Amino acid sequence: MPDLGETGNKCVDALSGTICLLKLVWHNCTTNFNIILMKLSELARLTSAELVRGDAELEISSATGLTAAGPNDITFLSDTKYLQDALVAKAGAIFVSAAFEFDRDDIAVLRTANAALAYARAQTVLDPLPPVSGEVHPSAVIDPSAVVAKDVEIHAHVVIGKGSTIASGVRLLPNVTIYDNVSIGEGTTIHSGVSIRENSVIGSNCIIHNNSTIGADGFGYTKDEHKRWFKIRQTGRVVIENDVEIGANTTIDRASTGETRIARGVKIDNLVQIGHSCTVDEDALLCGHVGLAGSTKVGKRVILAGQVGLGGHLTIGDDVVITAQSGLSHDVAPGKVVSGSPAYDHHDWLRAITTFRRLPDIAKRVKEIEKRLTGRK
């Protein structure tokens, strides 16, 4: 190494120290925060995407949105309204839906049938959940008759009642309350503040978010001889099948008799109310503020947009879509799209709402026609 003089040697020493410090910081970050670096070729394989442009050896550390992505991030484009953002994105790579034209040579491009799905899978691969610790906080209260697998993670002030069964890989966050004779399947996560009432059944790989209540009494009363409300005991249960996700502050009431059932793969948003004895079938999607009155049956793959209200004892067929703020008091045949309150066919509703906005002008024209017909001035 050539002699750089005293000043030069000091600069080299300082630079070397800085490099060592940066290596130490990077090591700590990747260790403590579980940062995963994955080659683009491997990420393409795991997300069923085709790398059509770019360096297969590029290392990707995270999946993030178009405007926030950096050189080691991957992002996605699945809607043409975000094309301008994609054209200036600083990401190292991008998933692009196969139907879209995307002409940039300075970014790796991965083609896929569904860019949003590939992106979601990339998030799962690059940012996996931490493993279940198997630790039990000393403040937890577990009834001696409860059966709890050895690898269940139980946080502070969790309560598990008599005869309950908690399967392998379950994570119970602080202040979860599980009543008597509850069953919770493998790999389910229950967030803080959730209450699961007696006799409820929760399947495997479910997620229940904060402060939701599963299995509270249904809203059942009848009038007595003095015209006062007399409570009808709710003796049924709630069954949540596998792979269901339930948002925060949602309530699912137990049946008056029999069961309230949420089928496999259903996704429920925050602040949803599901009344007693309802059935929600597979892969249905219930958005925020949806309300189901008792004994209503919702079919497979139904979408209930925000603030939809369904009356009691209704049947909503498979693949129905009910648009936001609609209210129903009648059954809906499979495959229909309905809107409004009271709701009816969506296309008819669009024509009606267009006419509604023109009513003042229409009324004025009708009056003018009446004047001409009657000869009045």
Give strand pairing partners of 50.
Answer: 111
CA dist list (Å): 51 to 48, 59, 76, 106, 113:
10, 14, 13, 14, 13
Confidence of residue 29 (pLDDT cuts 50, 70, 90): very low
The whole-number pLDDT of residue 328 equals 94
Edge to edge, the sheet with strand 279-280 lists 147-148, 165-166, 183-184, 201-202, 237-240, 259-262, 279-280, 297-298, 315-316
- Is residue 281 within 8 A of residue 299, CB to CB? The reply is yes
- The pLDDT score that the predictor gives to residue 356 is 74
Structure tokens, 210: 């904060």
| AA letter at 354 | T
Q: Which of 155, 209, 276, 289 is catalytic?
A: 276
The confidence band for 375, taking pLDDT boundaries of 50, 70 and 90, is confident
For 121-175, write each residue's pLDDT tens digit.
999 999 999 999 999 999 999 999 999 999 999 999 999 999 999 999 999 999 9
CA atoms of 64 and 93, how far apart (whole Å): 11
Looking at residue 14, its pLDDT comes to 52
8 A C-beta contact, residue 140 and residue 124: no
- Please state the φ and ψ torsions of residue 342, each to the nearest 5 degrees: -70, 145
pLDDT confidence bin for 4, thresholds 50/70/90: low
DSSP assigned state of 332:
B
Distance CA 314, CA 317 (A): 10
The number of residues in the chain equals 377
31-53 average pLDDT score: 86
For all residues of the chain together, what is the average pLDDT?
Answer: 91
Q: What is the pLDDT of residue 367?
A: 85
User: Tell me, what's the pLDDT at 346?
Assistant: 81
pLDDT score at 22: 45
Q: Tell me the average pLDDT across 103-125.
A: 95
Which pLDDT does position 73 carry in this prediction? 97
Candidates 248, 253, 254; CA nearest to 268 is: 248
Confirm whether 276 is a catalytic residue. Answer: yes
103, 102, 23, 110: which is closest to 60 by C-alpha?
A: 110
pLDDT of 20 above 50:
no
What confidence tier does 19 reach under pLDDT thresholds 50, 70, 90? very low
Q: Which CATH class is domain 38-126?
A: alpha beta
Share of the chain above pLDDT 70, in %: 90
Q: CA dist 211 to 175, 287, 322, Å?
A: 10, 17, 27
**Mean pLDDT on 47-71:** 96
Which residue has better confidence, 21 or 359? 359
Instruction: Note the helical H segments in the chain.
Output: 5-32, 40-46, 83-88, 115-126, 346-357, 359-374
Return the pLDDT at 32.
Answer: 46
Q: Please state, in angstroms and rounded to a whole number, the distance separating the CA atoms of residues 324 and 307.
A: 6
Q: CA–CA separation, 301 vs 284, rounded Å?
A: 4
Pairwise CA distance, residues 62 & 36, whole Å: 8
CA-based nearest residue to 112, from 100, 124, 125, 126: 100
Query: Percent of the chain having pLDDT more than 90?
Result: 79
Measure the CA–CA gap between 307 and 118, rounded to whole angstroms: 30
Q: Which residues lie below 8 Å from residue 48, measured CB to CB, with a gap of 6+? A: 112, 118, 121
Q: How far is CA 264 from the centre of its chain?
A: 14
pLDDT of residue 376: 66
pLDDT value of position 225: 97
* CATH number attached to the domain at 141-351: 2.160.10.10
